[in-house]
Chains A and B, each alone.
Chain A
Amino acid sequence: MTADISTPTVESIGAWLTERVAEYVDAPKESIASDVPFGEYGLDSVAAFTVCTDIEDHLGLVLEPTVLWDHPTIDALSAFLVGELNTAR
């Protein structure tokens, strides 16, 4: 079951990102807190590039590969992505 991102809100994007990060670091999604930096879950700076690619593909955005470096939590990244999506529309 994939989170619904048809209406991009900080909550829906956040839920979708939580699933991606959980899948990527192989941990239950309940264990991923939205205000804890990605690095603390074992998602290192280089692995962040792969997640960025995933986000680009799923949201149809073109992002700087360093987007997870500059927005290093689910909350920060969701807020940023919602802004990008609204600009892109």
Chain B
Amino acid sequence: MTAGAPARLAAHTVAAVLSGRSGPGGPFDPAELARLDEAEEFPAAACAELDAAGLPDWYVPARFGGALAELPDVMAVMRATARRDLTVAIAHGKTFLGSVSVWVAGSADQAAALASAVRSGGIVSWGLTERDHGSDLMAGAVTATRHGDGWVLDGAKWLINNATRADLMCVLARTEPGGGPRGFSVFLADLRDPRPGTVRRTPKLRTHGIRGADISGVEFTGAAAVLVGDEGAGIEITLKALQLTRTTCTVLSLGAGDHAVAIAAEFLRERVLGRRRLSDVPRMRRVLGEAATGVLLAEAAAVVAARSAHTLPDELSVTSALVKAFVPTAVEQSIEQLAELMGTRGFLTADYRHGEFAKLERDHRIVGLFDGSTLVNRASLITQFPRLARRNALDVTTTVCLAEPLPTLDTARLVLVSRTGNAIVSGLSSALAELPAEFADLADALLRESGAVHAELARHRPVARAVPTAAFRLAERYELLFAAAAAVHVWVANPASRWERGCWLRACLTLALTRLGVPVDGADDAYEDVAAAVLAHGAVSLLDGGRA
């Protein structure tokens, strides 16, 4: 049994359970999920099903008694759910995201108590944002003050996933009136049986996507809470937790991408135009192939980032920002291409498979926003440009060999700035040197782009105010370079991933170069190979021998 095998089994088990419960009247029946979405009702039966399937075990690290040994484990399980329904995956997966601060900074007793609550189905939420303060963590006005031996919270958290349903909430609160980077701390509040009048849930908000999710708020009035980690360490703990959750969240996009590609492939196979099936029309196949390639490129980036949390935790400030900016953006582009292909905005397909496609398209837009928007993540990358300008020579073998067991995730090694830049991008040229001659043109083009991006990074002069647009574009180019590098590393190090003669790498590099602004010959053929694989198998993946 190879490393990660239990998680793959779990993901398969979850997929099988969901598949078995998606028949008419079942909690994962697409018609039922569409009805709940329409009614803006929480998918409670589906979430209960996930509890029964043992998902919460994967939200708890093995050292606290859960099943989570490697970050890719929980990601595989969440992706299996996201592939069915993104609202459900976001609603249920929130417990993992909400717990991470305690896994990072909590005491052994706190972690053990939370582990037991999560494993018995407790819902954990994450109280970061407040009304009128956007995504600026340090603008928060909720306060925590000492009260006897403990602390009490005052103020309102808003736009919080599962704020109404939560049993427990991790709350970032101000512990110095003046705020500042050492003026906040993390607290765990038990919302199950509060002193009367101390906790008031505020109503669910109406959202454009994930309409059934419980996006609501909570008002604290002297509510009891316990300190997690050191007083004044709240911003630091939260930024470290976000490195892990931003990496994890990428699977929500991958699941949505898998779902979109599978629906589009089925649509093309079923529909006939004149005397031809749409799946035989080259123009249609080209769009399908390119969109599926976007998901594969995103997958390469996400998988390598997830593994790097174990092997290169001190670079995760860069890696997590790269993938949280890149993956939702790339998958969004794929979904848009497929939406256009299927004409979902037209009347013809509005009801196709209960409007599943339109729903996932709406639901997915939220992924680019939560746990730090694309803009926030790019801004974080920009502050690290001076380090990214330099290449390091760190060994990435374990990171990119997908069957290698990973070292234990050491959250004590997370830091807020990567001193070494990024090892995956740094190792691009040596990985390219391993490719067969047929890739020579693509490899040369990538090396030239890498040289240009690094030269521009070295020229970048940091400024505190009004970050120039060019810097954001440079961050975007570095993301593409990272994704391309991840794809090359995975291809080179994992012969098992090279289904259909490894055609996906040509397609991925073609897509990355095109988005970097470099014209590539033979793009049609590259995407056609991927389209053929998708039409033969449904969704495709770099993992598990090609089956997503």
Residues on A with C-beta less than 8 A from B384 are 49-50, 53
**What's the dominant secondary structure at chain A's contact region?**
helix
A39 to B462, CA, bound (A): 16
Q: Which of B180, B387, B417, B462 contacts A72 (CB 8 A)?
A: B180
Indicate whether A28 reaches chain B with its CB closer than 8 angstroms.
Answer: no
Contact mask B207-250 → A, CB, 8 Å, 1/0?
00000000000000000000000000001100000000000000
For window 376-398 of B, CB contacts with A under 8 Å fall at 379-380, 383-384, 386-387
Residues on A with C-beta less than 8 A from B470 are none
Known: A66-B181, A66-B236. A42 touches B465 (CB 8 A): yes
Residues on A with C-beta less than 8 A from B379 are 46
Q: Which of A44, A47, A66 contacts B416 (CB 8 A)?
A: A66
Contact mask B455-490 → A, CB, 8 Å, 1/0?
000000011110000000000000000000000000
Q: Are A62 and B419 in contact (CB under 8 A)?
A: yes
> Which chain B residue lies CB-closest to A46?
B383
Contact mask A1-43 → B, CB, 8 Å, 1/0?
0000000000000000000000011100000000001010111
> Which chain B residue lies CB-closest to A45?
B181
Q: Are A52 and B417 in contact (CB under 8 A)?
A: yes
Residues on B with C-beta less than 8 A from A39 are 180
For window 393-424 of B, CB contacts with A under 8 Å fall at 415-417, 419
Indicate whether B138 reaches chain A with its CB closer than 8 angstroms.
Answer: yes
Of the four ranges (under 10, 10 to 19, 20 to 34, 35 or more), the interface on chain B belongs to 20 to 34
Indicate whether A54 reaches chain B with its CB closer than 8 angstroms.
Answer: yes
Residues on A with C-beta less than 8 A from B181 are 45, 48, 66, 69
Can you add 14 more A-B contacts, CB < 8 Å, to A46-B380, A50-B462, A65-B417?
Answer: A26-B463, A42-B464, A43-B464, A45-B180, A48-B181, A49-B417, A50-B386, A53-B386, A53-B417, A54-B386, A54-B462, A65-B415, A66-B236, A69-B180
Q: Give the A-binding residues of B (Cβ under 8 A).
A: 138, 180-182, 235-236, 379-380, 383-384, 386-387, 415-417, 419, 462-465
20 A-B pairs in the complex with CB atoms less than 8 angstroms apart: A24-B463, A25-B464, A26-B463, A26-B464, A26-B465, A37-B180, A43-B464, A44-B464, A46-B379, A49-B384, A49-B416, A50-B383, A50-B384, A52-B417, A57-B386, A62-B419, A65-B417, A66-B236, A69-B182, A72-B180
Q: Give the B-binding residues of A (Cβ under 8 A).
A: 24-26, 37, 39, 41-50, 52-54, 56-57, 62, 64-66, 69-70, 72
